[in-house]
């Protein structure tokens, strides 16, 4: 069940930033309790993290074994890692041993680093982190060092008497499984555990499970939490056996959690490469007002990208969304398929500013903020939500721009003179305007009650601009009229 742990001695000396840290804290400086600092580079896979909480003897490890078997997680037990560190006779071993003997909690950074090493040494991306976080300090250290939060938190709620009985019968030769230490552990658990539980309860991630009953009975309470995820979690084991109807069976069995389940099923479809099904479900989610969250969104992008724009046009058209269909078609007709380009379509359809901001954070974390298509899409999305300051800020920081960038920022300002200033800047930067630029400029002129000749640009330039603008939109007679009128 357990993957081989990497040598733990590098606790004190780390030479490379981890895969996990690279993924999770793209822009954070690597932190290690060795105080060495490195700047990680971005990577793509976000781990799926489940924290497993509960008092000593509540049955966390026992249930974890069953979850691993049924859903393919990698089990990372904080207590086992600490015990392994003791057994390795490392510099920290004796300090950890003393702490555990006292029934106390080991300093958070030590535990987090051990967890981090264990996760890094696994090629799985689904983890059960057992016996952690035991305190708010544990939780904060994980967020700070790993740079991410759990997706799900399980809490095995067990009466003290039952926990004591189980621990005393555990028979694993543990130094802390004696009545004196158990009392201290329970006191400490009582004092430090509840703030953590309350925290996750507020975030809606907590699943409290009554841990009294047989092992199998308790697992039957755990199973539904993961059942909706099985199509992701069992991947790739079941990818050849999965059918759409089985996913909907899962959905049907999980009434009352439609949003969560649809998202899970969506992820399942996308993971399994059932992109048409994924997109059909995405449209259904859209109709039911379920917005993709930070986990679903990357998969939405992937599905759009994989599906290919032509099929996307067909899907939009079939659903009567001619505007979107036309937009996509126009892009396809003019450009090669660029999977990130589909970001634009998605972001343009994102209904709330809050979600745009979330997506923006997500792309920053994944180091793709300055991918041209992504940055352009974000500028367009912010503009759509009238967040011109954010759009301008992004625009001004972009390391490179293309004609779409300029068109987007100009069109975002089509009601103000800034459109003309951006156009001026565009020409000065040597970027070549296209039809969209000219249409935006004309539209800005119309909105401002200006003729192109009224622009505060030099006359020769105005003439050229006038010809270009009208010429490009097939309105040369208007250009002539404007010249006759006083250009
Ligand atoms: N539902 C249960 N009923 C009775 N004994 C259990 C149950 N679940 C686990 N145990 C036993 O209780 C002891 C503690 O369980 P364990 O999973 O090690 O707890 P934890 O990881 O929370 O400390 C073990 O000996 C285990 O076999
Ligand atoms: N996050 C953690 C987890 C465990 N520890 C220490 C203190 C705990 O009493 C021991 C044993 O933890 P473990 O989770 O294996 O055992 P129990 O669930 O308490 O039975 O390890 C810790 O300091 N910090």
Same domain as 128, residue 118:
yes
> How is residue 351 annotated by DSSP?
-
Q: Give residue ranges with CB within 6 A of ligand 1.
A: 54, 56-62, 166, 169-170, 213-215, 218
Contact in structure between 309 and 328 (CB atoms under 8 Å): yes
pLDDT at 90: 86
> What's the gap in Å between 168 CA and the centre of ligand 1?
10
Q: Is residue 207 part of a domain?
A: yes
Q: Give residue ranges with CB within 6 A of ligand 2.
A: 56-57, 60, 77-79, 82, 100, 103, 105-106, 111, 131-132, 134, 138, 176, 185
Angle of helix 296-307 versus helix 258-272 axis, rounded to 10: 40
Distances (CA, A) of 443 to 162, 323, 411, 464: 74, 20, 9, 18
Instruction: Give the number of other CB atoms < 10 A from CB of residue 293.
Output: 13
Q: Is residue 38 part of a domain?
A: yes
Same domain as 427, residue 372:
no
Half-sphere exposure of 67 (CA within 13 A, CB side): 30
Residue with CA at minimum distance from ligand 1 atom 24 = 170
DSSP-assigned letters across all residues of 298-332: HHHHHHHHHH-HHHHHHHHHHTT-HHHHHHHHHHH
Instruction: Give the number of other CB atoms < 10 A from CB of residue 321.
Output: 16
Same domain as 363, residue 413:
no
φ, ψ (nearest 5 deg) of residue 37: -120, 135
> What's the gap in Å between 79 CA and the centre of ligand 2?
4
Q: Is residue 3 part of a domain?
A: no
Q: Please identify, among 227, 256, 278, the residue that sits at the C-terminal boundary of a domain.
A: 227
Please state, in angstroms and rounded to a whole number, the distance separating the CA atoms of residues 289 and 294.
16
Q: What is the pLDDT along the chain (487 residues), one digit of tens a residue?
A: 222 222 222 232 333 333 333 223 222 211 222 222 232 333 334 688 999 999 999 999 999 999 998 888 999 999 999 999 999 988 889 999 999 999 999 999 999 999 999 999 998 888 999 999 999 999 999 999 999 899 889 999 999 999 999 999 998 989 899 999 999 999 999 999 999 999 998 887 888 999 999 999 999 888 877 754 543 333 322 222 333 344 334 434 433 334 444 555 555 555 555 555 555 656 655 555 555 544 455 555 555 555 554 455 555 555 555 455 445 444 443 433 333 444 545 555 555 677 678 777 767 766 667 877 778 888 988 988 899 999 999 999 998 898 889 999 998 998 888 888 898 899 888 888 877 787 777 777 777 776 655 555 544 555 556 666 656 555 556 656 655 655 4
Please state, in angstroms and rounded to a whole number, the distance separating the CA atoms of residues 404 and 149.
35
> What's the gap in Å between 225 CA and the centre of ligand 2?
24
Q: Ligand 2 pocket test: pick from 60, 77, 82 the residue with the most ligand atoms within 8 Å of its Cβ.
A: 82
Please state, in angstroms and rounded to a whole number, the distance separating the CA atoms of residues 231 and 227.
8
Helix (H) or strand (E) holding 480: helix 476-484
Same domain as 482, residue 417:
yes
Same domain as 358, residue 210:
no
> What's the gap in Å between 452 CA and the centre of ligand 2?
74
* 57 has binding-site annotation: yes
- Those residues whose C-beta lies under 8 Å from the C-beta of residue 369, and which sit 6 or more positions away, are 360, 363, 375, 378
Q: Please identify, among 170, 204, 227, the residue that sits at the C-terminal boundary of a domain.
A: 227
Same domain as 395, residue 416:
no
pLDDT at 284: 59
* 138 has binding-site annotation: yes
Same domain as 474, residue 386:
no
Q: How many domains does the chain have?
A: 3
Q: Which domain holds residue 120?
A: 9-227
Q: Is residue 233 part of a domain?
A: no
**Span between the terminal Cα atoms of the chain, in Å:** 81
Same domain as 348, residue 218:
no
Paired residues of 147 in beta bridges: none
pLDDT at 26: 21
Query: Count of residues for the chain?
Result: 487
Distances (CA, A) of 458 to 424, 434, 455, 462, 464: 11, 21, 8, 6, 10
Residue with CA at minimum distance from ligand 1 atom 16 = 59
Please state, in angstroms and rounded to a whole number, the distance separating the CA atoms of residues 423 and 89.
68
Among candidates 313, 20, 245, 299, which has minimal Cα distance to 148? Answer: 20
Q: Is residue 302 part of a domain?
A: no
Distances (CA, A) of 7 to 10, 21, 90, 109: 7, 18, 10, 17
Residue with CA at minimum distance from ligand 1 atom 8 = 59
| Nearest ligand 2 atom to alpha carbon 135 | 1
Please state, in angstroms and rounded to a whole number, the distance separating the CA atoms of residues 406 and 340.
18
Please state, in angstroms and rounded to a whole number, the distance separating the CA atoms of residues 329 and 388.
27
Q: Domain holding 79: CATH number?
A: 3.40.50.300
Please state, in angstroms and rounded to a whole number, the distance separating the CA atoms of residues 282 and 260.
13
| Residue entry with tokens 């840290």 | 21
Instruction: Give the number of other CB atoms < 10 A from CB of residue 332.
Output: 16
Contact in structure between 345 and 304 (CB atoms under 8 Å): yes
Please state, in angstroms and rounded to a whole number, the distance separating the CA atoms of residues 99 and 95.
6
Same domain as 447, residue 379:
no
Please state, in angstroms and rounded to a whole number, the distance separating the CA atoms of residues 450 and 437.
17
From the CA atom positions of the chain, what is the Rg in Å?
Answer: 28
* 185 has binding-site annotation: yes
Same domain as 474, residue 353:
no
> What's the gap in Å between 62 CA and the centre of ligand 1?
6
Please state, in angstroms and rounded to a whole number, the distance separating the CA atoms of residues 4 and 16.
19
> What's the gap in Å between 170 CA and the centre of ligand 2?
14
Q: Please identify, among 176, 204, 227, the residue that sits at the C-terminal boundary of a domain.
A: 227
Q: Is residue 78 part of a domain?
A: yes
Q: Is residue 316 part of a domain?
A: no
> How is residue 271 annotated by DSSP?
H
DSSP-assigned letters across all residues of 163-226: HHHHHHT--S--TT-SHHHHHHHHHHHHHHHHHHHHHHHHHT-EEEEE--S-HHHHHHHHHHHH
pLDDT at 377: 81
Peptide bond into 461 cis (omega under 30): no
Please state, in angstroms and rounded to a whole number, the distance separating the CA atoms of residues 42 and 292.
23
Same domain as 37, residue 23:
yes
pLDDT at 239: 27
Helix (H, G, I), strand (E, B), or coil: what is residue 76?
Answer: strand
Same domain as 94, residue 35:
yes
Q: Ligand 1 pocket test: pick from 166, 175, 182 the residue with the most ligand atoms within 8 Å of its Cβ.
A: 166
């Amino acid at each position: 069940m357990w993957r081989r742990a990497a040598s733990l001695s590098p606790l004190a000396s780390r030479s490379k930033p981890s895969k996990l840290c690279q993924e999770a804290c793209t822009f954070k400086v690597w932190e290690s309790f060795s105080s060495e600092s490195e700047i990680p580079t971005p990577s793509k896979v976000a781990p799926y993290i489940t924290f497993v909480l509960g008092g000593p003897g509540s049955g966390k490890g026992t249930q974890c074994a069953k979850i691993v078997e049924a859903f393919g997680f990698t089990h990372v037990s904080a207590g086992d890692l600490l015990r392994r560190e003791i057994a390795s006779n490392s510099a920290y071993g004796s300090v950890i041993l003393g702490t555990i003997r006292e029934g106390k909690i080991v300093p958070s950074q030590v535990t987090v680093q051990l967890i981090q090493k264990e996760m890094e040494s696994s090629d799985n991306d689904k983890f059960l982190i057992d016996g952690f976080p035991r305190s708010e300090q544990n939780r904060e250290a994980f967020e700070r060092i790993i740079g991410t939060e759990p997706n799900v938190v399980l809490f095995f709620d067990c009466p003290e008497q039952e926990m004591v009985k189980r621990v005393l019968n555990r028979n694993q030769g543990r130094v802390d499984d004696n009545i004196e230490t158990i009392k201290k552990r329970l006191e400490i658990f009582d004092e430090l555990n509840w703030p953590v539980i309350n925290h996750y309860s507020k975030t809606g991630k907590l699943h409290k499970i009554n841990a009294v009953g047989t092992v199998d009975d308790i697992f039957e309470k755990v199973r539904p939490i993961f059942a909706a995820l099985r199509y992701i979690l069992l991947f790739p084991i079941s990818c050849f056996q999965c059918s759409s109807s089985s996913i909907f069976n899962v959905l049907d069995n999980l009434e009352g959690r439609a949003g969560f389940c649809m998202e899970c099923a969506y992820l399942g479809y996308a993971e399994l490469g059932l992109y048409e099904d994924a997109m059909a479900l995405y449209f259904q989610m859209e109709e039911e007002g379920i917005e993709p969250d930070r986990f679903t969104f990357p998969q939405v992008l992937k599905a759009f990208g994989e599906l290919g724009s032509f099929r996307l046009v067909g899907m939009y058209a079939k659903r009567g969304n001619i505007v979107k269909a036309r937009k996509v078609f126009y892009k396809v007709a003019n450009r090669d398929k660029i999977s990130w380009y589909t970001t634009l379509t998605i972001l343009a359809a994102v209904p709330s500013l809050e979600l745009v901001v979330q997506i923006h954070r997500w792309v920053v974390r994944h180091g793709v903020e300055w991918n041209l298509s992504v940055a352009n899409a974000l500028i367009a999305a912010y503009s759509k939500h009238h967040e011109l300051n954010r759009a301008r800020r992004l625009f001004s920081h972009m390391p490179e721009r293309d004609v779409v960038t300029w068109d987007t920022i100009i069109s975002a300002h089509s009601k103000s003179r800034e459109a003309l200033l951006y156009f001026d800047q565009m020409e000065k930067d040597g970027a070549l305007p296209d039809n969209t630029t000219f249409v935006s400029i004309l539209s800005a002129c119309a909105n401002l009650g200006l003729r192109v000749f009224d622009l505060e640009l030099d006359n020769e330039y105005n003439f050229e601009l006038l010809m270009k603008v009208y010429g490009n939109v097939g309105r040369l007679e208007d250009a002539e009229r404007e010249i006759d009128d006083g250009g």
